[in-house]
Amino acid sequence: MLRHIELLLVTSLTAFSSFVFADQVTLKNGDRLTGTVVKSDGKTLVLHTDAADDVTLKMDAIQDIKTDAELHVTLKDGKTAVGPVTTTDGKLAIATKSEGTVEASTSDVTLIRNDAEQAAYDKSLHPGLMHGWQGGTNIGFSAARGNSQTENLAVAFNAVHPAEHDKITIYESSIYTRNDLANPGIVANLTTAGIRYDHDLMPKLFVFGAGDFMSNALQYLDLRQVYTGGLGFHAIKNDNTTLDFLGGVNYTHETYSNGAPIPGTGAFVSYGLTNRFVALTLGEELNKKLGKTNVLTQSVDFYPDIQNTSDYRFTFTLGTVTKISKWFGWQNQFGDIYISNPPVGSKKNDLLLTTGLNISFTPQQ
């Protein structure tokens, strides 16, 4: 009997202590919730509860908040106060250890994070090179048999490593099309790849360096190497939209080996042509979220030759990704590659349209 009483007492004290040390949120309709305040973006607040896991509440529906654990509160002026939080009559009080009680209007609060959320955020600002990557792979394939015998494979890879003031971007894409009834059998064979490093000088201004590489059988291009350096400007930069403008100078080294077949012979003209020149790099990049499941990307790049102003290159891309689940989505991409001075026998313009499955990966913690 005594043992049963002791067990009941311990259980009661445990339940009482968990209630005492739980955060409490009182709504304007009189409802009261207990749990752990996780985070807030100033518009909504996430409360973790034992009964319903994470509950998202509108801030304008909240009457009072009282926490026993410390929260990291960021205000509109950029200052952050750390301590237990109490709200009353639209005002928020943070009981800090170093500055005493800091008071602010709830309308001035932009972010609230608990210790775990703040630690994850701090880590995301300075991820190691092996962590924090995000991006995905696009795969598209088609085949036809009967009157035609064709295979088409499109593969693309994009990875971004963002930090507080730096960003590394790596990309690769290729399109391969074969028609066994045609001569030559390879109809298209295009590969592009590159790497770019951005470093913020100011909130709106950044410096960048990049290396871009292309091989394009449609234009008889063995390899084009473009090494660029310059400045970029964040015209728009928020959670839903980024719009950047780029300007710089590049060194281009390109090699063409073969031209079009000689009519009636099937032989190729051997060019052995190598171009080396300095050009400008002018670009625009847009990334926009369309709702919760769609992302639009668009870019324009213009490369006028400084030494021969009549020669230039132009590229345009427009793509969308529709998220199906956390890992999978459907992508569509249109591209236009234009060169003003291709080898004899090749066309100046290539239009590309690809569609297929998108496989994304999330940052590693």
Q: Which helix (H) or strand (E) holds 316?
A: strand 312-323
- Please provide the distance, in angstroms rounded to a whole number, between the alpha carbons at the two ends of the chain: 50
∠ CA 108-111-117, nearest 5°, is 160
CB 250 within 8 A of CB 283: no
Instruction: State residue 313's pLDDT score.
Output: 93
Secondary structure (3-state) at 255: strand
- In angstroms, the CA 169 to CA 100 distance is 44
Query: Rounded to an integer, what distance in angstroms lies between the CA atom of residue 365 and that of residue 17?
Result: 32
Q: Token pair of 353, please?
A: 């349209």
Q: Where are the alpha helices (DSSP H) in the chain?
A: 2-20, 115-125
Q: What is the mean pLDDT of the chain?
A: 82
Amino acid identity for residue 164 in this structure: E
Residue 55: closest CA among 36, 28, 82: 36
* Sign of the dihedral defined by the CA atoms of residues 336, 228, 210, 202, in that order: negative
Question: What pLDDT band is residue 308 in, cutting at 50, 70 and 90?
Answer: confident
pLDDT digits (tens, 9 = 90+) for 68-98: 888 888 888 878 888 888 887 778 888 888 8
- The answer to whether 312 touches 304, Cβ cutoff 8 Å, is yes
- pTM beyond 0.75, yes or no: no
Return the closest-CA partner of residue 278 out of 254, 244, 245: 254
Which position has the higher pLDDT, 13 or 325? 325
| Backbone dihedral angles phi then psi of residue 6, each to the nearest 5 degrees | -65, -45
pLDDT bin (cut points 50, 70, 90) of residue 265 is low
Instruction: Report the range of poorest mean pLDDT among 24-38, 183-197, 206-220.
Output: 183-197
pLDDT reported for residue 283:
96
pLDDT at residue 187 tops 70: no
Angle at 304 between CA 299 and CA 306, to 5 degrees: 145
Looking at residue 15, its pLDDT comes to: 42
What the chain holds in terms of domains, given with CATH numbers, is 11-125 (no CATH), 134-361 (2.40.160.40)
Contacts of 249 (CB under 8 A, 6+ apart): 228, 229, 230, 278, 279, 280, 281, 306
Which of 117-121, 171-175, 202-206 is predicted least confidently?
A: 117-121
Of the candidate ranges 42-56, 124-138, 324-338, the one whose mean pLDDT is the lowest: 124-138
The predicted pLDDT at position 10 comes to 39
Q: Place 278 in a pLDDT band, splitting at 50, 70 and 90.
A: very high
Give the confidence band of 264 by pLDDT, cuts at 50, 70, 90: low
- Asked which of 26-40, 223-237, 248-262 is least confident by mean pLDDT, the reply is 248-262
pLDDT of residue 146: 67
Q: What is the pLDDT of residue 229?
A: 97
Query: What is the pLDDT, as a whole number, of residue 364?
Result: 41
- Confidence band for 272, pLDDT divided at 50, 70 and 90: low
Distance CA 258, CA 263 (A): 15
Identify the three-state secondary structure at position 6.
Answer: helix
In angstroms and rounded to an integer, the radius of gyration of the C-alpha atoms of the chain is 29
